[in-house]
Amino acid sequence: MIWDLRFWIINMNKNEFQKFVQYLKEKNKVIAPQHDVEGYLHLNELNEAKDLYLGIELPLDSWKWFILPPRQEMFAYKGLKIEEILPKLKDQIFLGVSILDMQALTLLNQIFEKDTYYQEIKKKTIVIGTSLVPEENFYKFFDKFEENKLEHLQFDIFLAVQKNDYIIYTGSEDGQRLLDDFGYKDYSHIEYAGPIREEGLDPQMVAIKDAMQNRHNQKIWDELDKRCMQCGKCTIACPVCFCFRMFDQSNFEPGTGSRNRCWDSCFYNEFTQVAGATPEAPKHRMINTTAQKIYFWYEHHFVRTPATFSLPGCVGCGRCSKTCPADIDIFTTIKEILKVKK
């Protein structure tokens, strides 16, 4: 629900915003997009308020690095004794999260809803989003900002970016407290109404899901088979790829060690390797060819995730295309998928 109080609310101007960033930085660890010396946009701890980039370009790395770390120790064992290891983390603020990435975080929040390790980090994380989206994205839903789009996203503070100032919204009590403590009162509050929209999935996402399910075109995957080198960079870059594997790390002392999880990729051979090998098939896998792997990856994003969570399994950020060494472009592939098969 949106409390419509905007008729008396004054937007935050750019000077006030600078002071707000300074205020955040003084008290917290702030992670924000910043250009490196070579001009690439990355997420890093913000040391100087002036280094914050707030624009339509998306950082190459996604926010999952800081909420679902690449490697996590889960518990230590000593003989039969097990001790849970929860992430030790100070409070952190994600500043300048594009609304596309807010949708990605909202999906991760659902997927890891019952995961103690993820939730422990989420509890200590404040999300400050913006209405800025890159020009090239096929998830057009967020191109035009309307405040009723916010009620299905999880965030603490949101900046609807205007030409000279920002309309400020809060999405949680933590967000309200932060602004109140700073001394800023001109915000509207958006009550979170759950992740699923009443009108269902975005029509474009439905069209892709429908084409993937009902008009399988093997030629697309055979073509990509010739180019993809199974490096897995797209899965690392993607803000909603979340697959991981488990491994045990033993210590010198007998019977001691820890269980860990780390990111994995469905492009790696071991990922779908299963027990039951035979001399004829010593490495028995669920998925073998590159064409199968790349199809599986698209199917995960556009069919299985929407079917399981009623949310888009891709936010159209284009990070997978930017990082792919084989120049495989998701925007081109989607066009191919949507073409009526001849």
Binding residues for ligand SF4 (CB under 6 A): 228-234, 237-240, 267, 301, 314-320, 324-326, 328, 330
Strands 244-250 and 256-263: antiparallel
Residues 6+ positions from 258 with CB-CB distance below 8 Å? 73, 74, 75, 76, 77, 85, 248, 249, 251
Contact 133, 145 (CB under 8 A): no
Phi, psi of 257 (to 5 degrees): 165, -165
Contact 240, 297 (CB under 8 A): no
Residue with smaller CB distance to ligand SF4, 129 or 239: 239
Residue with smaller CB distance to ligand SF4, 139 or 187: 139
Min separation Cβ 268 and ligand SF4, Å: 9
Contact 110, 122 (CB under 8 A): no
Min separation Cβ 272 and ligand SF4, Å: 14
Strands 29-35 and 256-263: unpaired
Min separation Cβ 243 and ligand SF4, Å: 13
The C-alpha atoms of residue 82 and residue 92 are separated, in whole angstroms, by: 29
Min separation Cβ 233 and ligand SF4, Å: 4
**Buried-exposed string 196-220: b where 16+ CB fall within 10 A, e elsewhere:** ebeeebbebbeebbebbeeeebeeb
Residue with smaller CB distance to ligand SF4, 85 or 303: 303
Residues 6+ positions from 94 with CB-CB distance below 8 Å? 31, 32, 63, 66, 125, 126, 127, 128
Min separation Cβ 235 and ligand SF4, Å: 7
Residue with smaller CB distance to ligand SF4, 201 or 330: 330
Residue with smaller CB distance to ligand SF4, 175 or 239: 239
Residue with smaller CB distance to ligand SF4, 155 or 187: 155
Min separation Cβ 278 and ligand SF4, Å: 28
Residue with smaller CB distance to ligand SF4, 261 or 301: 301
DSSP state, residue 164: S
The C-alpha atoms of residue 107 and residue 171 are separated, in whole angstroms, by: 16
Min separation Cβ 8 and ligand SF4, Å: 39
